[in-house]
Structure 1
Amino acid sequence: MNQSIPSSSDDDSGNMTTAPQSAGHSHISADSGNSALVGNSFGESRHWHDVFWLGIFLLHLIIIGLALGLLGLNRFRKKDRLNIDQYTNRIIGTEADLTEDYWPLYAIAAAVGTVLGWAWLLLLGSRANQMMKIFVHLLTTYLAVLSVLCFWDKLVFWGVAFAVGSGLQFLYIISVIDRLPFTMLVLQRAVKMVWKLSDVMRIACAFMIIMCLWLALWSFGASGVVASSIGDSGRWWLLVVFSVSLFWTGAVLCNTVHVIVSGMVFLVLIHGGREAASMPHNPLLQSLRYAVTTSFGSICYGSLFTAAIRTLRWEIRGFRSKIGNNECLLCCVDFLFHLVETLVRFFNKYAYVQIAVYGKSFNHSARDAWELFQSTGVEALIAYDCSGAVLLMGTLLGGLITGTCAVIMTRIKHSDRVIMMGTTAVLMGMILVGLAMVVVESAVTSIYLCYAEDPLLIHRWDPEFFDQMSEMLHERLQHRSSRGMQVLNHNRPGDRIQETVSI
């Protein structure tokens, strides 16, 4: 059955396009050989994609790793061991410390972030609904408390920053409050899925260990920067460069786990279970091999842009739905919204599932996934779901708690380095917690892609969840159609007036 729906991902869209798919009809029949097709694609040899970005990432790791090692060693147990200070004599310097004055503080922060990441994941498995409510409400409160403490300590800039963050978080929650029940439902089913795959947890644990090893080197170099005799401006510039590098490295590791886990979940849903006869041999090892070889360049490429575009899209979509009748402001936001929507077609998290299963390049995977969602109407369901934003809230909360611990410890002996240690520790905590949260997010993306490929796959896995998803999709399609008709009817009187004036 064909029906007309709006193409925009926002609930208030008035644009209309044709979507040849309704909620209850499958795009690809499960009995038509889809499982065999996926199995063959998963088992065959693959071509390398986005090799340029793979080279850039590896080169960046080598350069940053050498710089971190040199800067950390220069202040380790002896001031200016490598005589680097002679190159910074033009920069206003301050009293220098030693690397080991700050390195243990980073180690404690990394430990806190690791514990929080696993605690969040374990509690999601046993108390999913309660933990999601904590993520949503506690983040706003925590940001407000941090703002008050910063003002009390006369840190006006950070007080304003945390106050603005708390306000934006509160406004976003208000704008999506009606979507949270469905979001909780999706997240609960995703947690249910990943907890049945013990191999997935071991992969997440292994990559968290790899991240901790890189953080040991990164924090060693960052401690050398904080302890150096360079002025504050020089320290900040170096820390910003190293933080951007850490963000990219952390995103690459998170998305590598994303590819492995989403590939596993997709295969389990396609084949009807982990023990199915049609399941490829050693799917976890094959998915891991593809993720760190032929598909690794695509992961490096997508990790540069995907997170920032997703976050911007959430904020614009939530703000756009609450603007009202301010036509000037709505016009400006609409321009930004459609610009971001164009970028989303080429940079979205659903590309990683296609990369895992079919071995495509990143842009090709992102475009195919988005076109599939548009053609089936499932994109209306994805736009309504806020599971990614809720998991991001948990990640931000974990990072802020980690940063708070680092600030408290640094304030005791090095009160002049509190901001530097706190901001970098927040980033470390977010990456470590994000590595745990990405396991659940991978399951969510796989569930939506399977539903778009063939809704019967979800029905075979969980009939009750399938009925709830289908009902919600039907409601969202009806809502968009009614919004489109309202816009058309709103524009007709103007056309009539213009015709009358012409006559």
Structure 2
Amino acid sequence: MAQQGEAGAYYNQPYQQQQPQGYAQYQPPTGPPQNYQQFQQGPAQPFPPMQQGPYDGKQIGQQNPPMYGESFVPPMDDKQTFQDTFKIQKPKWNDLWAGLLLLATFFGFVAVSGLSLYRYSRYQGFNGGGIYGAGNDFSLNTNTLVLFIFVIVVAFVLSWAYFLLARAFTKQFIWITGILNCVIAVGTAVYYLYRRLWGAGIVFAIFAVFAIFCFISWIPRIPFAVVMLQQAQDVARMKRVHVFMVSFVGGLVATVFAAWFSITLVGIYTAYMPSNANATSNPACAQLGGCSSGKVIGLVVFVTFAAYWISEWIKNTVHTVIAGVYGSWYFCAGKPGGIPRGATMGSFKRATTYSFGSISLGSLVVALINMLRQACSIAQNQSAQDGNIIGTIFFCILGCLIGILNWLVEFLNRYAFSHIALYGKAYIPAAKDTWRMMKDRGLDALINDCLTGPVLSMGSIFVAYVCALLSYLYLEFTHPAYNESRTFTPVIMAFSFLIGLQICQIFMTPISSGIDTIFVAMGWDPDVAVREHPEFWQKLVQVYPHVQDVIHA
């Protein structure tokens, strides 16, 4: 066994996980994914003999864990495509109802946006032509629109720079991310305390302490994360792989949609919000009618939900496309034909056709949870603005609980979509099969020790913090009349945070997707890593020797 070095000594501790009884005589599988067979709960029982693997003709042992997936044809020449390699026996549109519901939601968003922007454009002079000079002193106006433009530009630039940072400084990337996250958390807490916003200051101080504690505790596991991150970047630079292009295009689409959402949000307020004193103060309400605070709340809730769902769909589509590419590398790079031709486009076609409904369904679950977290964040900021420390702490704890639920769902989604990318299954069967495979292989222990997911999340949160802080400073310096009593500050900060978070997450999705897919592919067939990617396997064993026990290879 190679020496682990100073940080790697953390992994020399005795492995505590008890292996299931049925794996005592485990032999590494030789074939690519085969159909998952249901197994009963309770003590592990020997599995029936498996079919012969297509790679080298070895017979698989009788006590192997079940294999997953089907219809894999290793490429024998460079003319074989992604569709030929990962065939779907009976192509069908899975979870079609969810896809149709997403389309209906999208068209509803288009309708609300069109009507709101029409009313906004008719009375643009009343809402101002820039930062100052608006006659609208009771709702969001052009001043807010300029703010959101600044936020979107900053989010785009920081997110793309963060992605390039991961590409150019892979080893230092994790350290830089951890340090920046700690610095921004401490800086935000100090600033709020300096401005005598005690509730927000105390909450962010707690966040800062937690961030520092997490980063220090993660230091021993950094070498393992570095190996996985370097491998993902090495694959991204190979021929027939377009990871960087997918990241840029996905981030650009997310930025354009964020701009559209921002304009729509401002348009709803200017089109349907009456003044507090007299509804006729808004010329759109006086001449076109149909204004009320209730309608504004309802429309804002709808477009926010639609924005969450659509942006989640964009992110998960990018993830599924990249999963198909990395799956092609894992199973095919060592074959005579190499990575199948058109892997990126083939994976994209499958994600936007047969798997469109499945991606929509998984995105819907996350969107609903994020809506609850957004409402909790607004309530927390409002309590902080009012100096209500008890309310701030309560909503902070509630937000953390919702965040944990969101993490669990996204955790499962990431690996389920990797399965969907290669085998085109429906969402729920893919999620069940993937979860059972992870538990069966012990893959969850391996994933929990890898920091790349938390690190990328910390980077996205850093960008979101910067966007939220920018919106706060903008409102403080421009002093728009509609925000004289800071009524809209928590809402605008929450939406700025959301915009920065979603844009950065979509930019970074290709990196995390590659690592997630490598994990899942190792669970499907760990012997491929040992036999066809020996250099990567040796690096992994060097920094994380328990990997041989965790995935039973």
TMscore range, shorter length:
0.7 to 0.9
2:352 equivalent among 265, 279, 292? 292
Correspondence list, 1:312-331, <5 A:
none
Deviation, structure 1 residue 439: 0.6
Instruction: Report what 1:247 is aligned to.
Output: 308
Percent identity over the alignment is 23
Distance 1:50 1:342 in 2: 23
State whether structure 2 residue 187 is matched by structure 1 residue 126.
Answer: no
1:374 equivalent among 439, 449, 463? 439
Correspondence list, 1:317-396, <5 A:
347-396=412-461
Instruction: Report what 2:86 is aligned to.
Output: 42
Instruction: Report what 2:55 is aligned to.
Output: 31
Correspondence list, 1:232-243, <5 A:
239=300, 241-243=302-304
Unaligned runs of 5+ in 2: 1-13, 32-52, 58-70, 75-81, 127-135, 277-291, 371-400
Distance 1:64 1:15 in 2: 51
> Given the superposition, is the C-alpha separation of residues 174 and 132 from structure 1 closer, same or farther in structure 2, using an over 3 Å criterion?
closer
Which piece of structure 1 moves more, 404-413 or 287-296? 404-413
Instruction: Report what 1:261 is aligned to.
Output: 322
Instruction: Report what 1:419 is aligned to.
Output: 490
DSSP 3-state at the match of 2:115? helix
DSSP 3-state at the match of 1:36? coil
Instruction: Report what 1:410 is aligned to.
Output: 475
Instruction: Report what 1:89 is aligned to.
Output: none
DSSP 3-state at the match of 2:196? coil
Distance 2:325 2:178 in 1: 29
Correspondence list, 1:220-235, <5 A:
220-225=263-268, 227=270, 228-229=273-274
The alignment's TM-score, normalised by the length of structure 1, stands at: 0.74
Would you say the 8 A contact 1:30–1:454 is kept in 2? no
> Given the superposition, is the C-alpha separation of residues 123 and 480 from structure 1 closer, same or farther in structure 2, using an over 3 Å criterion?
closer
Deviation, structure 1 residue 77: 5.8
Distance 1:225 1:22 in 2: 65
DSSP 3-state at the match of 2:242? helix
Distance 1:472 1:428 in 2: 37
Deviations 1:140-194 (A, max 9, x none): 2212211221232233343233223223323433444432321222122212222
State whether structure 2 residue 99 is matched by structure 1 residue 75.
Answer: no
DSSP 3-state at the match of 2:414? coil
The alignment's TM-score, normalised by the length of structure 2, stands at: 0.68
Distance 1:425 1:303 in 2: 21
Distance 1:229 1:173 in 2: 48
Distance 2:408 2:103 in 1: 26
DSSP 3-state at the match of 2:546? helix
> Given the superposition, is the C-alpha separation of residues 308 and 205 from structure 1 closer, same or farther in structure 2, using an over 3 Å criterion?
same
Aligned length: 432
Instruction: Report what 2:200 is aligned to.
Output: 158
Instruction: Report what 2:110 is aligned to.
Output: 65
Higher RCO (Cα < 8 Å, 6 or more apart): 1
Would you say the 8 A contact 1:21–1:27 is kept in 2? no
1:436 equivalent among 494, 502, 507? 507
Look up the equivalent residue of 2:468 and give its one-letter code. G
Deviation, structure 1 residue 224: 2.7
Would you say the 8 A contact 1:41–1:357 is kept in 2? no
Distance 1:454 1:471 in 2: 20
DSSP 3-state at the match of 2:413? coil
Deviations 1:178-217 (A, max 9, x none): 3232122212221222233552222222223322332232
Look up the equivalent residue of 2:20 and give its one-letter code. T
Correspondence list, 1:200-219, <5 A:
200-219=243-262
Look up the equivalent residue of 1:292 and give its one-letter code. T
DSSP 3-state at the match of 1:347? helix
Distance 1:461 1:442 in 2: 21
Instruction: Report what 2:343 is aligned to.
Output: 283
State whether structure 2 residue 516 is matched by structure 1 residue 449.
Answer: no
Which piece of structure 1 moves more, 119-128 or 70-79? 70-79
Distance 1:418 1:341 in 2: 25
Unaligned runs of 5+ in 1: 1-10, 82-93, 311-335, 482-503
Deviation, structure 1 residue 403: 2.5
Would you say the 8 A contact 1:398–1:433 is kept in 2? yes
Structure with bigger helix share is 1
Instruction: Report what 1:313 is aligned to.
Output: none
Look up the equivalent residue of 2:439 and give its one-letter code. Q
